[in-house]
Amino acid sequence: MAVVRKELDAAAVRGHFPALDQRVHGHPLIYLDSAATAQRPRAVLDAVVGFYERDNANVHRGLYELSRRATEGFEAARGCVARFIGAADPAELVWTRGTTEAINLVALAWGWANLREGDEIVVTVLEHHSNLVPWQLVAERTGARLRRVDIDGQGRLRLDQLDELLNERTRLVAVGHVSNALGTINPVREIVERAKAVGARVLVDGAQAVPHMKVDVQALGCDFYAFSGHKLGAPMGIGALWARRELLEAMPPWQGGGEMIDTVELERSTWAAVPHKFEAGTPNVAGAIGMAAAAMYIESLGYDAIAAHEEALVRYGMERLGAVDGLRLFGPEDPAERTAVFSFALEGVHPHDVATILDAEGIAVRAGHHCTQPLMRRLGVPATTRASCWIYNTTDELDRLAEALEVARRIFA
């Protein structure tokens, strides 16, 4: 039977994102900073406005119609996002403010309860500060020790070194699914297998994976998966932690307040069932509803089509940017091992100057350490310029980027 592969209609997709339809400094906007935060499709904007226009009320509290609708929408959104990442049960999905908060939740709730002096936490040199600093804090308080996996010359994790680091003291491996700074796709399934062989838990930072590839947490076999809404077209301030139910049930709460309790006495309390045990206070209901709308939007495009589109961008971008005189592209050489993130140095031009020159042309990129200072140190650079693509970017835009870089290089030469 012939397999019909759905293609992404880039023009139609662009039409779904109102923010892309504008001029910046007299030029059509070229938005190449989706790794920092994506633009939002109309479907998400409508879902958020719809909630506030019709259903706005607090959840799990009121006995009136609006509160019922708000609660139903909020919990339906949980089910939708849980399904989106292949969770077995909506109760395994805890709403958070984003990836950072999800990882801090695990560090505080699981880490404090399970880590002791002499235990080891394995991280990698690719990690975003969000998947490093929480472990430093918990290590300092518990006496656990951080170990670090290095990369090879192409920014790929050295699994041989992981094998050397893993031992019976390893309690946790905390690894990014995709590097925000280099675009490297890490072999998470393989890492999980190796970690499980020594009885370690695995936390995956999925912030840069979920917008680009079908994630199935059960197939990955990990214990915790953290991700943000705003990188997949949902509002800022919403994200999620997925964890296997038995782990969540065994973990103590990390924040106290309304919503997360069962009974409260003056001196002690009992906790609500998971996931509410981890959701103290009024949640970001509109954000959750917006995140479900983003997940449905992505599913309507199809991950196969998204992957094919992004793979074409990776190949084109590597070739086109690689041809710019004096440009050094970081990250894996094999397009299959990376997402459409182009992190580079332009000889003789500071990354901040590159970004400023590009901004004058209406091109938005990020320059800096990308919240990965250990990685920058490892690469021997203070910063890079990073152009990151998503579903709405085109090869024409990468041409415009390359041309602007050629001009920048001539000016500074």
Q: What angle do CA 364, 365, 367 make, to 5 degrees?
A: 140
Interface pattern 30-59 for ligand C6P (x via CB under 6 A): -----xx-----------------------
Alpha-carbon span 60 to 121, nearest angstrom: 37
Q: Which is nearer to ligand C6P, 24 or 36 (CB)?
A: 36
CB of 386 to ligand C6P, least distance (A): 7
Alpha-carbon span 141 to 191, nearest angstrom: 27
CA 229, 291, 314, 204 dihedral sign is positive
When asked if residue 385 is in the footprint of ligand C6P (CB under 6 A), the reply is no
Q: Which is nearer to ligand C6P, 213 or 308 (CB)?
A: 213
CB of 239 to ligand C6P, least distance (A): 6
Residues found in the chain: 413
Kindly state the tokens that stand for 331. Answer: 């990250």
Question: Phi, psi (5° rounding) for residue 28?
Answer: -60, 135
Window 176 to 195, contacts with ligand C6P (CB under 6 A): 176, 180
Alpha-carbon span 33 to 365, nearest angstrom: 5
The CA dihedral of 216, 220, 222, 224, to the nearest 10 degrees, is -20
Q: Which is nearer to ligand C6P, 70 or 289 (CB)?
A: 289
Interface pattern 79-118 for ligand C6P (x via CB under 6 A): -------------------xxx------------------
Which of 39, 228, 284, 394 binds ligand C6P (CB under 6 A)? It is 228
Region from 59-67, 124-132, 189-197, 296-304 binding ligand C6P, contact rule CB under 6 A: 124-132
- Written as one letter, the residue type at 226 is A
CB of 204 to ligand C6P, least distance (A): 10
Task: Please tell me which residue in 80, 222, 371, 389 is annotated as part of the active site.
Answer: 371
Range 352-391 burial, b when 16+ CB lie within 10 A, else e: ebbbebbbebbbbbbbbbbbbebbbeebebebbbbbbbbb
Which of 34, 71, 184, 208 binds ligand C6P (CB under 6 A)? It is 208
Interface pattern 149-178 for ligand C6P (x via CB under 6 A): ---------------------------x--
Kindly state the tokens that stand for 299. Answer: 């599913």
Which of 78, 128, 194, 277 binds ligand C6P (CB under 6 A)? It is 128
Region from 140-148, 200-208, 324-332, 351-359 binding ligand C6P, contact rule CB under 6 A: 200-208
Interface pattern 297-336 for ligand C6P (x via CB under 6 A): ----------------------------------------
Region from 75-83, 203-211, 271-279, 395-403 binding ligand C6P, contact rule CB under 6 A: 203-211
CB of 185 to ligand C6P, least distance (A): 12
Q: Which is nearer to ligand C6P, 71 or 228 (CB)?
A: 228
Alpha-carbon span 338 to 332, nearest angstrom: 7
CB of 373 to ligand C6P, least distance (A): 12
Kindly state the tokens that stand for 398. Answer: 């990468």
When asked if residue 358 is in the footprint of ligand C6P (CB under 6 A), the reply is no
The CA dihedral of 265, 101, 288, 39, to the nearest 10 degrees, is 160
Interface pattern 1-20 for ligand C6P (x via CB under 6 A): --------------------
Question: Applying CB under 6 A, what is the total number of residues that bind ligand C6P?
Answer: 19
Alpha helices (H) along 341-394: 351-360, 373-379
Region from 55-63, 132-140, 210-218, 363-371 binding ligand C6P, contact rule CB under 6 A: 363-371
Alpha-carbon span 384 to 382, nearest angstrom: 7
- Looking up tokens 């909506």 gives 90
Active site residue 222: no
Alpha-carbon span 191 to 23, nearest angstrom: 44
Contact 42/17 with Cβ under 8 angstroms? yes
Alpha-carbon span 198 to 381, nearest angstrom: 35
Kindly state the tokens that stand for 102. Answer: 């999800």
Q: What angle do CA 226, 127, 103 make, to 5 degrees?
A: 30
Which of 205, 259, 337, 397 binds ligand C6P (CB under 6 A)? It is 205
- Looking up tokens 């309790």 gives 261
- HSE-CB for 408 with a 13 A CA cutoff: 28
- Residues in contact with ligand C6P by CB under 6 A are 35-36, 98-100, 128, 130-131, 176, 180, 205, 207-208, 228, 230, 239, 366, 370-371
Active site residue ranges = 371
